[in-house]
Structure 1
């Protein structure tokens, strides 16, 4: 099992290094040298999250950080992380954070300013 855990750790590092690319499960499977079905099963066993969900969640977490730490527009952030459109990014982001990206940015920055005062 340690060998598989090491493989998954290497893959999560590789995913983080390529997070700006339009990553697909097939891409990760090719990188790992396993079929996508086997890789998804092993990934879930080790990480307790589906590979596709992991990739999506990492992209959303990075996008959320960019919304807070840069002046990039929502469309630029959505394209940066490989979303097909601002609409699909907004829908996915809203499901995860319960707010659309622009409101998330305003609310988080407003709260941060409140803490600084």
Structure 2
């Protein structure tokens, strides 16, 4: 079986559903593998568990939205399937080393100073 094709298909599914609830069982079903086997193969090929990959991708999209929109942080958090602004802030801070509000403020300030 070509696991690379399965992983590619699963990543495409994840990328198209970052704003939706994604269940491991749904992804595994899309590539015709059991949840257990899919999780093992995904981790082996990608280098991180499925849930971590999804969380990281959602946070990356959220960071992009923080920089390029004026949407409220809570709205961005909910859009990317975080249960609350607090859980979003905690995950965001873990990945980027600062809370979303500071990230937005710092990046916006540096963009303005670079443009001047």
Does the pair score TM above 0.5? yes
Q: Deviations over 1:89-111 (max 9, x none)?
A: 11111111111111110011111
Contact 1:22 1:83 in 2 (8 A): no
Name the TM-score, length of structure 2 as normaliser: 0.93
Q: Structure 1: give runs of 5+ residues left out of the alignment.
A: none
RMSD: 1.2
Equivalent position of 1:93 in the other structure: 92
Equivalent position of 1:30 in the other structure: 29
Task: Give the C-alpha shift of residue 30 in structure 1.
Answer: 2.4
Q: Structure 2: give runs of 5+ residues left out of the alignment.
A: none
Name the TM-score, length of structure 1 as normaliser: 0.93
Q: How many residues align?
A: 116
Determine helix, strand or coil for the equivalent of 1:77: helix
Segments ≥4 residues shifted beyond 6 Å: none
